[in-house]
Amino acid sequence: MGQPVRRAEDVRLVTGQAVYTDDFNLDGQAFGCFLRSPHAHAKILSLDTTAAKGAPGVIGVFTGKDIDAAGDVNDMPCNANIKDLQGNPMYHPPRRPLESERVRFVGDLIAIVVAETHVQARDAVELIEIEYEELPSVVDTAKSIEPDAAQIWPEANGNLCVHFENKDGAEIDAIIQSAPNVAKVDLINNRLIAAPMEPRVAIGDYDSDTGTMILYAPSQGANRMHSTIIQVFPLEPEKIHVISKDTGGGFGVRSKAYAELIILMWTARQMKQPVKWQGDRFESMVSDNHSRDNVTHAELPMDENGRALGLKIETIASVGAYLSEMGPGIPTHNGRRITGTVYKLPEVYQSVHVAFSNTTPTDSYRGAGRPEAAFIMESLMEEAAKVMGMDPIEIRNLNFIPEEDFPYTNSQNLPIDSGKFTETMNMAMERADWDGIDARRAESKKHGKLRGIGLGYFMESSGGRPDEFGRVRMEADGSATILVGTFSHGQGHGTAFRQILHDATGLPFEQMNFIDGGDTAIVPQGRGTGGSRSSQMGGVSILRAAKKVIIKGKVIAAHLLQTGENKVEFASGVYTATDSGASISLSEVAMAAHDSAKLPDGMDQGLDENEHYQREADYNYPNGAHIAEVEIDPETGVIKVDRYSAVDDSGVIINPMLFHGQVHGAIAQGLGQALYEHTVYDDDTGQFLSGSFMDYCMPRASMIPDLNVGSNEVRCTTNDLGVKGAGEGGCCGAPPAVMNAVLDALKDLGVTDLAMPLTPMRVWQAIQAAK
Amino acid sequence: MTTVSMTVNGKEVSGDVEDRTLLVQFIREHLTLTGTHVGCDTSQCGACTIHVNGVSVKSCTMLAVQADGADIKTIESVAKADGTLHPMQAAFQENHGLQCGYCTPGMVMSALDIVRRIPDVDADQVRHELEGNLCRCTGYENIVKSIVAGAKAMQAEG
Q: Which residues of B touch A14 (CB under 8 A)?
A: 79, 85, 89, 92-93, 98, 101, 104-105, 108
Helix (H) or strand (E) holding A201: strand A201-207
Q: Which of A158, A286, A355 is nearest to A695 (CA)?
A: A286
Instruction: Report CA-CA distances (Å) from A266 to A118, A212, A242.
Output: 18, 11, 14
For B:45-64, CB contacts with A below 8 A are 45, 47
pLDDT one-digit tens code per residue, A686-704: 999 999 999 999 999 999 9
The mean-pLDDT minimum among A142-151, A256-265, A596-605 falls in A596-605
B48 and B109 co-located in one domain = no
| A36 φ/ψ angles, rounded to the nearest 5 degrees | -120, 155
Average pLDDT over residues A315-323: 98
Average pLDDT over residues A12-40: 98
Q: Concatenate the DSSP letters of all residues of A553-622 into one string.
A: HHHHHHHHTTS-GGGEEEETTEEEETTT--EEEHHHHHHHHT-GGGSPTTPPS-EEEEEEEE-SSS-B--
For residue A552, how far is the Cα from the chain centroid? 38
Q: Which of A231, A363, A243, A383 is nearest to A308 (CA)?
A: A383
Q: Is A389 helix (H, G, I), strand (E, B) or coil?
A: coil
Which one of B36, B130, B142 has the shortest CB-CB distance to A700? B130
Does residue B136 contact residue A195 with C-beta atoms inside 8 Å?
yes
How confident is the model at residue A696, as a pLDDT?
Answer: 98
B8 and B71 co-located in one domain = yes
Peptide bond into A407 cis (omega under 30): yes
Burial of A189 from C-beta contacts in 10 A (0-12 / 13-18 / 19+): buried
The yes-or-no verdict on residue A490 having pLDDT over 90 is yes
| Averaged pLDDT of chain A | 97
Instruction: Kindly indicate the confidence band of residue A352, based on its pLDDT and cuts at 50, 70 and 90.
Output: very high
CA A626/CA A434 separation, integer angstroms: 11
Residue B67, chain A, CB below 8 Å: the answer is: no
Does residue A719 contact residue A540 with C-beta atoms inside 8 Å?
yes
pLDDT one-digit tens code per residue, A444-479: 999 999 999 999 999 999 999 999 999 999 999 999
Q: Is A665 helix (H, G, I), strand (E, B) or coil?
A: helix
Half-sphere exposure of residue A274: CA atoms within 13 angstroms, side-chain side: 15
The yes-or-no verdict on residue A207 having pLDDT over 90 is yes
CA A441/CA A454 separation, integer angstroms: 13
A689–chain B nearest CA distance, Å: 14
End residue of a domain, out of B37, B55, B75: B75
Question: Does B94 contact A657 at a Cβ distance shorter than 8 Å?
Answer: no
Does residue B98 contact residue B136 with C-beta atoms inside 8 Å?
no
Q: Is A283 helix (H, G, I), strand (E, B) or coil?
A: helix
B93 and B149 co-located in one domain = yes
Burial of A184 from C-beta contacts in 10 A (0-12 / 13-18 / 19+): middle
pLDDT one-digit tens code per residue, A71-105: 999 999 999 999 999 999 999 999 999 999 999 99
How confident is the model at residue B135, as a pLDDT?
Answer: 98
How confident is the model at residue A653, as a pLDDT?
Answer: 97
B69 and B94 co-located in one domain = no
Instruction: Kindly indicate the confidence band of residue A27, based on its pLDDT and cuts at 50, 70 and 90.
Output: very high
Does residue A230 contact residue A325 with C-beta atoms inside 8 Å?
no
Beta bridge partners of A162: A354
First to last CA, chain A: 56
Average pLDDT over residues A301-318: 98
Instruction: Kindly indicate the confidence band of residue A331, based on its pLDDT and cuts at 50, 70 and 90.
Output: very high
Q: CB under 8 Å to A29, separation ≥6 — which residues? A: A203, A273, A274, A275, A276
Q: Is A664 helix (H, G, I), strand (E, B) or coil?
A: helix
Question: Does B78 contact A198 at a Cβ distance shorter than 8 Å?
Answer: no
Question: Is residue B121 in some structural domain?
Answer: yes
pLDDT one-digit tens code per residue, B30-55: 999 999 999 999 999 999 999 999 99
Compare all CA atoms of chain B with the CA of A731 and give the residue at the minimum distance: B139
CA A189/CA A124 separation, integer angstroms: 40
B113–chain A nearest CA distance, Å: 16
B126 and B146 co-located in one domain = yes
Instruction: Kindly indicate the confidence band of residue A126, based on its pLDDT and cuts at 50, 70 and 90.
Output: very high
Q: Number of A to B CB contacts under 8 A, please give it.
A: 183
B67 and B100 co-located in one domain = no
Does residue B47 contact residue B23 with C-beta atoms inside 8 Å?
no
pTM of the full structure: 0.98
End residue of a domain, out of B75, B103, B129: B75
Residue B134, chain A, CB below 8 Å: the answer is: yes
Question: Is residue B96 in some structural domain?
Answer: yes
Does residue B95 contact residue B142 with C-beta atoms inside 8 Å?
yes
Question: Is residue B82 in some structural domain?
Answer: no
What's the domain range around B46? 2-75
B94 and B136 co-located in one domain = yes
Average pLDDT over residues B9-30: 97
Instruction: Kindly indicate the confidence band of residue B157, based on its pLDDT and cuts at 50, 70 and 90.
Output: confident
Residue to mutate among B102, B114, B131, with most A CBs inside 10 A, is: B102
Q: How many residues does chain A have?
A: 771
Question: Does B75 contact A13 at a Cβ distance shorter than 8 Å?
Answer: no
Compare all CA atoms of chain A with the CA of B84 and give the residue at the minimum distance: A11
* CATH code of B127's domain: 1.10.150.120
A549–chain B nearest CA distance, Å: 31
Q: Which residues of A touch B46 (CB under 8 A)?
A: none
Q: Are β-strands A201-207 and A192-193 bridged in parallel, bridged antiparallel, or unpaired?
A: unpaired
For A:117-146, CB contacts with B below 8 A are 119
Residue B105, chain A, CB below 8 Å: the answer is: yes
Average pLDDT over residues B117-142: 98
Q: Is A350 helix (H, G, I), strand (E, B) or coil?
A: strand
All domains in chain A, ordered by first residue: 10-135+209-278 (3.90.1170.50), 368-457+622-770 (3.30.365.10), 467-614 (3.30.365.10)
The yes-or-no verdict on residue B158 having pLDDT over 80 is no
Average pLDDT over residues A154-175: 96
* Structural domains in chain B (count): 2
| A147 φ/ψ angles, rounded to the nearest 5 degrees | -60, -30
Question: Does B37 contact A20 at a Cβ distance shorter than 8 Å?
Answer: yes
Beta bridge partners of A568: A577
* R_g over Cα of chain B: 15
How confident is the model at residue A333, as a pLDDT?
Answer: 95
B11 and B62 co-located in one domain = yes
Average pLDDT over residues A283-299: 98
Residue A276, chain B, CB below 8 Å: the answer is: no
Q: Which of B73, B152, B78 is nearest to B119 (CA)?
A: B152
B64 and B91 co-located in one domain = no
The yes-or-no verdict on residue B104 having pLDDT over 90 is yes
Q: Which of B140, B12, B142 is nearest to A699 (CA)?
A: B140
Q: How many residues does chain B have?
A: 158
B109 and B45 co-located in one domain = no
Residue to mutate among B16, B31, B138, B141, with most A CBs inside 10 A, is: B141
Compare all CA atoms of chain A with the CA of B29 and give the residue at the minimum distance: A23
Q: CB under 8 Å to B82, separation ≥6 — which residues? A: none
* R_g over Cα of chain A: 28
CA A571/CA B116 separation, integer angstroms: 51
| Averaged pLDDT of chain B | 97
B59 and B94 co-located in one domain = no
* CATH code of B22's domain: 3.10.20.30
Residue to mutate among B9, B61, B136, B147, with most A CBs inside 10 A, is: B136
How confident is the model at residue A342, as a pLDDT?
Answer: 98
B121 and B57 co-located in one domain = no
